[in-house]
Structures are given as structure tokens and as C-alpha cells.
Amino acid sequence: MAAYYRKTLTIFWQSFTLGTTLSSGWFIFYPDSLDCVLPVLFPLRFVPLFKVATFFAPALVLFAVMYIINWALIASFAGEEVTKKREEILANLVDALAVNNSIRYRIENLIDRHAWKSLKLFWRFK
């Protein structure tokens, strides 16, 4: 089993599940915890919007943290895969340069994204 996630969508669903579970538990066990602060900070019409944002905030924070951790895990554990992808990309870039053609910036997973970003010196968007 790999020590990292290959797809951004997997990270999103993991963080969404954990973050909303945490928020649900908080709102179930402490339902009035936001009500004592809200009338001072916001007009009444913004209270539901603030509660929805507060409900999804842990999921967004978890997504950011998990994405950064996953990026570090890819950098440390997927060196061979990234190197193979770099070789493929460089071969395609050299072939495209030889025939004066362009290649597509294709990203199927986070390994591809890591490989493309590490070769930023050799390509640019048109």
C-alpha cells in the first residue's frame, strides 16, 4: 500500500468526511456554542451563513493540511515514480522540439503534477 494519495479527489473526500463528522459532533454536543457570540458579531440575517461556513471550515482546513502532507509524502516516498514520469515528459518535450510541435499538459494524478512542476524550467504554457 502506498504511503500517499494519488488523486486530489481522494484527499478531498477524506477531509470532507472527517471534517463534517467533527463539525457534526461539535454541533450535536454543543448546539448553542455559537449563539452566545453571534449576535454581537453579525446581524441576524448573516447568522445561518456563518453557521454553514463554520460547519464546513474544518473540512477545508483538513483538506489543506492533508494536501500539504500528501505533497511532502510524494516528495519523500515516490522518488522513483516521479523520476520515471520526468523521463517520459522530457522525452516527449525533446520529440516535440525536434518536430516543432507542442504537447499537451496532461495530469492524471498527483505524481504527474509533481513531475511537471519539477520540470518547470523546460516548458511553458502557450
Domain ranges of the chain: 1-77, 79-119
pTM of the model: 0.78
Share of the chain above pLDDT 90, in %: 32
DSSP state for residue 119 in the 8-state scheme? T
- Does the pLDDT value for residue 47 go beyond 80? no
Residue that is written with C-alpha cell 505524481 in the block: 111
pLDDT, tens digit, for every residue of 103-118?
887 888 898 888 888 8
Q: Give the pLDDT band (50/70/90) at residue 37.
A: low
Other CB atoms within 10 Å distance of the CB of residue 36: 8
**Burial profile 50-69: b = 16 or more Cβ within 10 angstroms, e = fewer:** eeeeebeebbeebbeebbee
More confident residue, 37 or 75: 75
